[in-house]
A and B are shown apart, each in its own frame.
Chain A
Amino acid sequence: EIVLTQSPGTLSLSPGDRATLSCGASHSVSSSFIAWYQQKPGQAPRLLMYGTTNRATGIPDRFRGSGSETEFTLTITRLEPEDFAVYYCQQYGYSPLTFGGGTKVEIK
């Protein structure tokens, strides 16, 4: 099983700040098989990124994904009030599909 470890657990930032979220994989994963999801309290997750760098429909370009093999990053270049949420990375290249433990981006 591929274990995804997200860091930090919580990121305390202000609107307008840059957020950098990390996702480490226990084994190499093709960048084609990494996704990121955003989840707000009481809501279902929402797809943000797939294939590491591709934004899902309707996702603004302040969200950027990068990485390869065992290290992947989600960057939010300038935080908007609606971006404060929990973010999960996921690998879908190997069974079982696995998610990271999440990074909470909170208002400082």
Chain B
Amino acid sequence: DIQMTQSPSSLSVSVGDRVTITCRASQSISSFLNWYQQKPGKAPTLLIYAASNMQSGVPSRFSGSGSATDFTLTISSLQPEDFATYYCQQSYSPPYTFGQGTKLEIK
């Protein structure tokens, strides 16, 4: 199985901060990497697919980059509604695996 490792596991941030979350794959996955946002008690929602493509309706402050084994999710200016947990997920080969999540907390 391809292991997905996110860092950090949690992050204390303030509204307006620029946030970068890293996801590393245990082997090259080309650009087959997706990012999801999950709020407490809710299902994950898709933010970014294929490493850098923004899902329709996602605010432009979210962006994704990377290829092969190293990927980043960036939030350019954190808004109150962005406090959530973020997950990366590889779709290169089954079993499709997720990172352990990065929780954004209010500083």
Same assembly: no
